Structure 1
Amino acid sequence: MAKRLTYFILIGLVLGIITGWAINASISDGTPGADAQLTEIAGYFSIVTTLFLRLIKMIIAPLVFSTLVVGIAHMGDTAALGRVGGRALVWFIGASLVSLTLGLILVNLLQPGAGLDFPIPPVDAASGVERGAFDLKVFVTHLVPASMVEAMATNEILQIVVFSLFVGVAITAVGERAAPLVKGFEALVAVMLQITDYVMRVAPLAVFAAVAGTVAERGPSIIGTFGYFMGSFYLGLILLWAILIGAAFLIVGPRVKLLLRYIREPILLAFSTASSEAAYPRTLEALDRFGVPPRIASFVLPLGYSFNLDGSMMYMTFAVIFIAQAYGIDLTLGQEITMLLVLMITSKGVAGVPRASLVVIAATLAFFDIPEAGLLLILGVDHFLDMGRSATNVVGNAVASVVVAKWEVELDPLEPAEIEPPHAPAHSPSSGEAEQSFR
């Protein structure tokens, strides 16, 4: 089914581009109210996409909670938990620095914001993006949920992770008396992944609607206008992929060359919907088939969605420096290094959902006295850039899970990349097999 679904998503992507282009071309610029008509049509398409993303969000919280609790419970002891968590954070910090630094180097080298041949928004123009300065007190206190129900209702992944850590460690401490609870969570994992299978059947339609609506509203001309900026950014993403996979190759070995084949469906889904969150369930399953022990994947992957958004971090440096270049603002080397450190902190906990990075960018612009109005320059193409950075987030977290698994234990034998059980996903063993699977 996975192979067919990938093909259907590709078909939906191509048909969406064709349909959106045709709609945009049929409503000429000379038609009165053309922009309003295109916006209205895009709004109708967005209904399907919004419903799909809401279905995904419906799954995320219980899936993250149950898989993380079961994974921690089968770690065996808190020492193993601390070791895996420490290794994951080491990789996350290293990957974050590479992403931010590579973006900074490329945007300074290629200068996509210099010499733009279209009007720059006035400095005092409103961007429409909510801006808030980084507050350490708010950031730290926000890590711990005031209510687990509220955290799950709002899909606060980082808060869910914190609560799951407490529950998993407590289950380990209680021991045999908590065994029925572990079996219940294992059953919940199986149920949620089965629901994922149902939801994913409408993914091609959601991809078609998302792409058709975007292309219909924006039109192909905007891609041409910002072609150099977009091309520079996607070049950076390609280089980042190569660096991450190359580093994993040195640690894991030749097997890593097969990783993209296993995660190509989640990558394509994240790219077409511009949401790495939409790819979370499928990424979890793909890592299991690749041989990452479920107890490792179910722990590292949720952490990665809060601490390891590599594509988003590269975009933040690209966008901030691009806007500064557009307004002719030269930042010193010291300011740029400070920017890296600021983004290292402020980017953590950003949800893997569309447009979340813009809030962090707005705060960073204000910190360095760069006109916030510059966000208007990139809003038109942000969706197309979000597609690339969402796919990169999936790649970065998959690589992190594989590397941490190799550091901790040997990878399990490979399973066929394109084969899934007909009723229950491979990641969800029966209760009799669970103890062996989560070793």
Structure 2
Amino acid sequence: MIIDDTATGAAPRPWYAQLYVQVLAAVVLGVILGSLDPATGAAMKPLGDGFIKLVKMIIAPVIFLTVVTGIAGMRDLGGVGRIVGKAFAYFLTVSTLALVVGLIIANTVQPGAGMHINPADLDTREVGQYTAKAHATTLTGFLMNIIPTTLVSALVEGEILQVLFVAVLFGIALTMSGERGRPLLEILQAATAAVFKLVDILMRAAPVGAFGAIAYTIGKFGIASMAHLVALVATFYLTSIVFVAVVLGIIARVAGFSLWRLLVYLKAELLLVLGTSSSEAALPALIEKLERAGCEPRVVGLVVPTGYSFNLDGTNIYMTLAALFIAQACDVHLSLGEQLLLLGVAMLSSKGAAGVTGAGFITLAATLSVVPSVPVAGMALILGVDRFMSECRSLTNFIGNAVATIVVARWENGLDREALAKALARGDRRQMTAGGLRR
């Protein structure tokens, strides 16, 4: 149950106790430290890495418990397939739009034109580790990897799709058990409350994690280090903004809610994603806040974790834009047919490397390895600035999955429109604070 401060008469927390303010302040401090003392800033990397590990530690149980309790609470098991089917229809459509938008912008702006790079002159040693992973990540291997070694190994290893796979099967089995499974369901529901309280506790460290991650980025690479590729970085950010504002904005308007108000509602999570360059860092909080905004838990539990692997709008934009940038920089002309082939391969490879660390760069390597016209060696051109584009990839992926969940919930008649309107209208004044969320 969600407790409203206004209902209980509790005094609103001061502005400085709100998580988004603390994260914003931490990001600013991280930028200052990384700029003034790069060595010290780079040494802050363990703070960001530690926070990401804390969040990843809790993702598997959050997904498992949310999905199992959501499915077990459904009387119609056919609803599970219906929700997943609608979600995948949405993912396929919008992901294709993201690839097309990236393709159009790259052909229009042509950020790599005029560089006249000879691929043979590039140092590809650092790129090798990504291309090796890309070759190891085939579509068949990806599908086989969804099946865990044992029933509990998915939870132990933290593979999102494996956890989702086990959770769906377990939820269905629990539903089919009828009244005999009721005591276990009640235990899992109680465990869900405890796990979300643990999320509250872990989120108190969000400002520390954001500070460490951004200080390392600026200290290690420096703001000036991306000046020579500023056209690519700027084009990618501009393209992502256009996609979010236009494509997702129209989708949100058609679905009956304001994208801007949704962004305000999720401002703490967006700042957390910006600071850590990881959309996974805000996954548990996204699940909770979408439920609070009126989306049924059964829909949230299925769409959000699935979207984190199959609805990567930011990654799709990045792949087509980066691939065409490399082609333009190396004076490789791609015909319309080759660009459409690139689009199709990117659609598949973005799913094949889902959940892999550095997935954006790895999926790009996988895509280029199938399209021989574009030299894989050209990836060395963008390796230095890839880190600066990862924040935008993560933000776009995060926003896309938030919109997708609300849309699918509406299609499934699993959206409390009054609760959504109230949450978005007040920008969620019960924002996560240093004291945690109140459920």
Q: Above 0.5 in TM-score?
A: yes
SS of 1:346's equivalent? helix
Q: 91-100 or 67-76: which moved more?
A: 67-76
**Which of 369, 378, 384 is matched with 1:380 structurally?**
384
| Residues 393-414 of structure 1: CA deviation (Å, up to 9, x unaligned) | 1100000000001111152213
Figure out how many residues of one structure are paired with residues of the other and give that number.
412
Could you say if the C-alpha distance between residues 152 and 121 of structure 1 is closer, same or farther in structure 2, counting changes exceeding 3 Å? farther
Q: CA deviation at 1:350?
A: 3.8
- 1:419 maps onto 2:430 in alignment: yes
Are residues 117 and 301 of structure 1, via their aligned partners in 2, closer, same or farther at CA, if it must alter by over 3 Å? same
1:291 to 294, 297, 311: 294
Q: CA deviation at 1:283?
A: 0.9
After TM superposition, the structure 1 = structure 2 runs for residues 105-184 of structure 1, keeping only pairs within 5 Å, are: 105-116=104-115, 122=121, 125-126=124-125, 127-131=127-131, 132-133=134-135, 135-184=138-187
Q: Tell me by how many angstroms 1:351 deviates.
A: 4.1
**Cα distance change of structure 1 residues 243 and 180 upon mapping to structure 2, 3 Å threshold:** farther
How far apart, CA to CA, are the structure 2 residues paired with 1:20 and 1:353?
Answer: 27
Residue range with higher mean Cα deviation, 362-371 or 233-242 = 362-371
Q: Could you tell me how far apart the structure 1 residues matched to 2:192 and 2:368 are?
A: 42
1:130-279 correspondence to structure 2 within 5 Å? 130-131=130-131, 132-133=134-135, 135-279=138-282
1:18 aligns with 2:32: yes
Structure 2 counterpart of 1:399, from 392, 399, 403: 403
Greater displacement, 369-378 / 347-356: 347-356
Once the two structures are superposed, residues 131-175 of structure 1 have per-residue CA deviations (whole angstroms, 9 ceiling, x without a partner) of: 233534323222222223332232211111111110111111111
The one-letter code matched in structure 1 to 2:401 is N
Aligned-CA RMSD value: 2.3
Identity of aligned residues (%): 38
- Cα 1:378–1:424 shift into 2, 3 Å: closer
Distance 2:335 2:200 in 1: 50
Cα distance in 1, alignment partners of residues 42 and 215 from structure 2: 11
TM-score under structure 1 normalisation? 0.88
Q: Secondary structure at the match of 2:18?
A: helix
Cα 1:146/1:342, change in 2 over 3 Å: same
Asked if the contact 2:42/2:215 (under 8 Å) is kept, the reply is: no
SS of residue in 1 equivalent to 2:129? coil
> Is the CA contact (8 Å cut-off) linking 1:52 and 1:206 kept in structure 2?
yes
Encode CA deviations 1:287-332: one digit per residue, 9 max, x unaligned: 1222212221111101101111111111111111111111111111
Stretches of structure 2 that go unaligned for 5 or more consecutive residues are 1-12
**Which consecutive unaligned segments of at least 5 residues does structure 1 have?**
25-37, 429-439
- Contact 2:90–2:404 (Cα < 8 Å) also in 1: yes
Output the CA distance in 1 between the equivalents of 2:78 and 2:171: 13
Paired letter, 1:372:
V
Is 397-406 or 355-364 further displaced after alignment? 355-364
Range with greater deviation from structure 2 (99-108 or 137-146): 137-146
Give, in whole Å, the separation in 1 of the partners of 2:208 and 2:356.
Answer: 19
Distance in 2 (alpha carbons) for counterparts of 1:171 and 1:332? 53
**Partner Cα separation in structure 1 for residue 228 and residue 288 of structure 2:** 39
* Counterpart check, 1:313 vs 2:316: yes
Q: Does residue 1:6 correspond to 2:20, yes or no? A: yes
Separation (CA, whole Å) in 2 of partners of 1:246 and 1:233 = 18
Structure-1 separation of matches of 2:139 and 2:22: 45
What is aligned with 2:329?
A: 326
**Does the CA contact (< 8 Å) of 1:262 and 1:287 recur in 2?**
no
Q: What are the superposed Cα offsets for residues 259-298 of structure 1, whole Å, 9 maximum, x if unpaired?
A: 1121121111112101011110111122122221222111
Contact 1:274 1:386 in 2 (8 A): yes
Give every structure 1 segment of 4 or more consecutive aligned residues whose post-TM-superposition deviation is greater than 6 Å. 117-121, 421-424
> SS of 2:331's equivalent?
coil
Is the 8 Å Cα contact of residues 42 and 218 (structure 2) preserved in structure 1?
no
Question: Does the Cα contact within 8 Å between 1:101 and 1:340 map onto a contact in 2?
Answer: yes
Query: How many angstroms apart in 1 are the aligned matches of 2:355 and 2:208?
Result: 21
Question: Shift of the alpha carbon at 1:233?
Answer: 0.3
Contact 2:117 2:329 in 1 (8 A): no
1:335 pairs with 2:338? yes
